[in-house]
Structure 1
Amino acid sequence: MSEYRLPIPTAAPDNVVAKLPPVFRVQSISRLPLDNHCVLNRAGLFHERASLMVEWPSRKVDVRLGAGCLVSIRWLGRPVSLGGAVRISRLVVLGRPEASLDLFQTIPTVWVKERTLVRRASALWQRLPVHFQHLFNAIFWDSRRLHRYLVGASSLKGHHSCVHGNLWHTLEVAEQALRMAQGQPLACPEVLLMAALLHDAGKADEYRLGYSGLELTTRGKLVGHRNTIIEWIAAAIAHARIALPESHYLGLIHALTSARGAPDWLGLREPCTLDAVLLSAADRLSGQIELMARHSPAEAGFGRFHPHLRGRPYVVGAAF
């Protein structure tokens, strides 16, 4: 009699797990004691594509695991939901920046409720070359810094001086600068976009909420956002060992630090690249438009005075 050998069937891959994103951001975490000297961990995880509650027992508490950090899930066989939470093996904290992760896909709704801003930021980040994506992620891998970058204002009492003002202004500058660079062979869109995303990033550590509203931090008073972002770039490159092309590095630093009309003794350089010129123009334009829109009348005529406008904005009425 012929002998037939059939292959041993293997477990089919779990389609639900396969469709989940590989990285989540922790929204909340709680720990409850168990009878056998263990701890029951329960965490709420967020990604733009999926949100879920997970739980797992452990004998030790991972002190690195807290709200805001980025994690990947280690599954415990086929996922099973118990009491509204999916039982897993554990969460692994991602300590080193990953170039391929779009951080804007991990921004919880509680951080930024206006999801249009998040989608615009994500679309811009995806246009960056890999080395600039890596640099951006290395700078903002710290969830507290990223939160301040997304939530903070762009000025104390000037343009975009509101919650999410710095993000709003940054997106306007980046989008406007790219439009101005279209058809310009002297421009480097990659450098221009990265510079636009970072030009006011240092303001995340420049302002704080005081007793009478927004005020400058000690770093804001002594260092300023322009020097802060250069410090962050240097630290990120060294820590994450990012290999930036020399031309892109110099172009980025020049766009972020050059200033027209600065006295020679300050040691600043005049804008020498079209990217630096376009960034400065887009920056001023965004600020002026927001201030004028906020202080202009509903119809034709003069609006309200603002010192940064050096007067009252005027709206031209329709011709009759």
Structure 2
Amino acid sequence: MAEIFINQLKSGQEVSATFALRVKKLMPLRNGTGYYLAVVLGDRTGQLEGRIWESVFETYHGCKVGDVVKVQGQATEYNGKLQIQISAMSVYQVNEIDPKRFIPSSALLLETAREKLFSILESLQEVHLKSLVSLVLSDEDFMNAFITAPAAKRNHHATIGGLLEHSLGIVCAAEGMVQVYPNLDRDLLITGALLHDLGKVEEYRFRTGIDFTDEGRLLGHIVLGVRLLDHYIGQLPGFPEDLRLKLTHMIVSHHGQYEWQSPKRPKFIEAAVLHHLDMIDAAVDMFKSAAESRDDPEDHWSGWIKGLDRYVFCK
């Protein structure tokens, strides 16, 4: 089957391709005599709506949201937007799914990122924090998850590798903050920045889209992160209790406000700086994505960005 992506489709084009099924809804016909099936299809380049008018119930019950579906039909324009008039849709049977076809990937170069991680390790002077980071980086299973995990389901860094990009972005910003404010504990801030979201490796799963794991939905990445931190520190005899407490607090408080699901607000300066850097890095990615996702690159304004609660000026 030819590799075709949503951003390549043009009105009038015949479509025979695979997509991820994001949404499916049975909708009543205007004349009240039956139903049609409204779907949303997606891949790494975006998503678009589709309509199925025949074999509606068979198609509806033959697939579920999250499936990879084989779609045949024609791209058409309706009310100024592209959609697919679907003549046939069925589950695409394949043994292995490449998530990179259906989920955007971070632009971060993996080899460059690995080099940065180990340069962070080498830069640490506090022996216990260096041992902790070394232990985490040597955990192959954790690192395989860390370098591919998304940082969110939507809004910011919702990409394969987004968690690594987000974490390194905060580390780089933290290094700059230490230059401006030398009273900061540099090693504590850098370690907290690198590990603040480590629970997200267990919070999210991704295949054709990003979703929560059961643990992620029931516990969330803050609780999962504290659990992982305790797991690693438990392997380091003699790890100072004050450092364990501070790192735990940095994970627990990095959302900053109770209404943002933060169990605690930051109670010391490095925790406060981490919270603000977390907010800044997320906002920068959302503004960047708003500009890149415009339907018309010449338009000075994005559409409404829910995560920012505003339109974004892109000129």
- TM-score bucket (shorter structure): 0.5 to 0.7
- Greater C-alpha radius of gyration: 1
Give the 3 Å change call, closer, same or farther, for CA 226–281 of structure 1 in structure 2: same
Q: Counterpart in 2 of 1:192? A: 189
More moved, 185-194 vs 245-254: 245-254
More moved, 112-121 vs 185-194: 112-121
Q: Counterpart in 2 of 1:207? A: 204
Q: Counterpart in 2 of 1:284? A: 279
Using the size of structure 1 for normalisation, the TM-score is: 0.57
Q: Counterpart in 1 of 2:220? A: 224
Give the AA of the match of 1:158.
Answer: N
Q: Counterpart in 1 of 2:135? A: 138
Asked if structure 2 preserves the Cα contact closer than 8 Å seen for 1:192 and 1:279, the reply is yes
Q: Counterpart in 1 of 2:160? A: 163
Report the 3-state secondary structure (helix = DSSP H, G, I; strand = E; otherwise coil) of the residue aligned with 2:258: coil
Give the AA of the match of 2:310.
Answer: G
State the distance in 2 between where 1:268 and 1:168 align.
25
What is the number of residues matched between the two proteins?
Answer: 201
CA RMSD of aligned residues (A): 2.4
Q: Counterpart in 1 of 2:311? A: 312
State the distance in 1 between where 2:121 and 2:227 align.
21
Deviation at 1:185, TM superposition (A): 4.4
State the distance in 2 between where 1:116 and 1:267 align.
32
Q: Please show how residues 170-189 of structure 1 align to structure 2 within 5 Å.
A: 170-189=167-186
State the distance in 2 between where 1:169 and 1:221 align.
21
State the distance in 2 between where 1:164 and 1:237 align.
25
Report the 3-state secondary structure (helix = DSSP H, G, I; strand = E; otherwise coil) of the residue aligned with 1:248: helix
Q: Please show how residues 87-126 of structure 1 align to structure 2 within 5 Å.
A: 114-126=110-122
State the distance in 2 between where 1:144 and 1:287 align.
26
Report the 3-state secondary structure (helix = DSSP H, G, I; strand = E; otherwise coil) of the residue aligned with 2:117: helix
Q: Counterpart in 2 of 1:234? A: 230
Using the size of structure 2 for normalisation, the TM-score is: 0.58
Give the AA of the match of 2:308.
Answer: L
| Match status 1:275 vs 2:274 | no
Deviation at 1:191, TM superposition (A): 0.8
Structure 1: segments with no counterpart, 5+ residues: 1-111
Report the 3-state secondary structure (helix = DSSP H, G, I; strand = E; otherwise coil) of the residue aligned with 1:301: coil
Any idea what the Cα deviations from partners look like across 1:39-70, whole Å, max 9, x if unmatched? Answer: xxxxxxxxxxxxxxxxxxxxxxxxxxxxxxxx
Report the 3-state secondary structure (helix = DSSP H, G, I; strand = E; otherwise coil) of the residue aligned with 2:233: helix
Asked if structure 2 preserves the Cα contact closer than 8 Å seen for 1:181 and 1:278, the reply is no
Q: Counterpart in 1 of 2:42? A: none
Q: Runs in 1 of length 4+ with deviation above 6 angstroms?
A: none
| Match status 1:295 vs 2:290 | yes
Any idea what the Cα deviations from partners look like across 1:2-22, whole Å, max 9, x if unmatched? Answer: xxxxxxxxxxxxxxxxxxxxx
| Match status 1:244 vs 2:243 | no
Asked if structure 1 preserves the Cα contact closer than 8 Å seen for 2:149 and 2:163, the reply is yes
Asked if structure 2 preserves the Cα contact closer than 8 Å seen for 1:150 and 1:167, the reply is yes
Deviation at 1:173, TM superposition (A): 0.7
